[in-house]
Amino acid sequence: MEFRASLARADLSAATLRGYLYDLRHFLRWQRGLQDAPFSPERLGEYDLIAYRQHMVAAGRRPATINRRLEALRRLGRWAHSSGMLTIDVVHDVRRVRMARNRQPAGLTDAEVHGVLRAAGASRHGLAPRNYALVQLMLQTGIRVGEVATLQVGDVTLDDRSGSLRIRQGKGLKAREVPLNATARRAVKAYLDTRPAVTKAESLFLSSRDGPMPVRSIQAAIASVVRRARTHRVPVSAHTLRHTFALGYLRDNPGKLVELATLLGHESLDTTAVYTRPSNEDLAADLERSHLNVDS
């Protein structure tokens, strides 16, 4: 498909590309349920997009999901317009769903972090060094799970007093360097010491079959660790470890939003600023301390 080829040429990460194609398949399934004729970009109309948007809202889809799927259709519409298939840009006026972002993302408490690390370090079948290093690295750097999957041994610098990660394929294919603190360096070194004759071109994290560890395997490993840690207060995923790093960084370094954005690989400070918003726990504590909180 020509549109798929145009996406492949764009400056998109592999995960973003897969996400757009998945979202377009969802739209096509919905469209097939309404019309017998097969879909073609020439027939895309503003009404289709508005009806699809209303369908997702009525189905209770999250605003982030709806907006992501609409963005995939915007790209399709803009491509069809630039290719001459559509005489007008039908996607221009389709509104995004407003997102209520008045709360910060959920992270792990210190006690939960210790529990997850204990569970990772107790992994069976010889996976304890790998799982401990994996969880510790994500907690100490906040890098994305997709960035972890592309790391090679040569991307890691481990010295006695310093260390760093070279992220070659960040979001939008942008590279950056992330410092490694002593805690992360010790965990990664202990894991690499279990691998004989390691080369710089090898993946940093290997699966149980000694092949590169893909994103899904990393997510599954973290999910398994979390289950064994019995952490139930909030849903925990690989991205929760990134949130935990960000929240902990601002707690220890108040006001350093630009520095945090650099570490996380954010292009806009607006994205990073979500970590400065109050949590439900913060609001509850403020109310408990309120001078109006008195018994009559």
Q: In which residue are the tokens 């408990």 written? A: 288
Does residue 115 contact residue 125 with C-beta atoms inside 8 Å? Answer: no
Set 81, 130, 242, 243: catalytic member: 242
Q: Tell me the C-alpha to C-alpha distance, in Å, between residue 159 and each of 94, 140, 185, 190.
A: 52, 16, 8, 13
pLDDT of residue 1: 61
The residue annotated as part of the active site, out of 144, 185, 243, 249, is: 144
Sorted by where each begins, the domain ranges of the chain are 2-82, 110-279
> Annotated catalytic, 186?
no
pLDDT by residue (tens digit) across 39-61?
A: 777 777 777 788 888 888 888 88
In CATH, the number for domain 110-279 is 1.10.443.10
CATH number of the 2-82 domain: 1.10.150
Residue 242 annotated as catalytic: yes
What does the alpha-carbon distance between residue 265 and residue 245 come to, in Å, rounded to a whole number? 13
Is 251 in the active site? no
Fold equal for 2-82 and 110-279: no
CA–CA dist 219, 131 (Å, integer): 11
Question: Which pLDDT band holds residue 282 (cuts at 50, 70, 90)?
Answer: low
pLDDT at 185: 95
pLDDT at site 36: 67
114 flagged as catalytic: no
| 275 is a catalytic site residue | yes
Q: pLDDT digits over 233-276, tens only?
A: 888 989 999 999 999 999 999 988 899 999 999 887 878 888 88
pLDDT band at 140 (very low <50, low <70, confident <90, very high): very high
Res. 30: pLDDT tops 90: no
| Percent of all residues in the chain with a pLDDT value above 70, rounded to a whole number | 89
Range from 45-49, 76-80, 136-140 carrying the lowest mean pLDDT? 45-49
Does 200 participate in catalysis according to the annotation? no
Active-site hit among 171, 185, 243, 249: 171
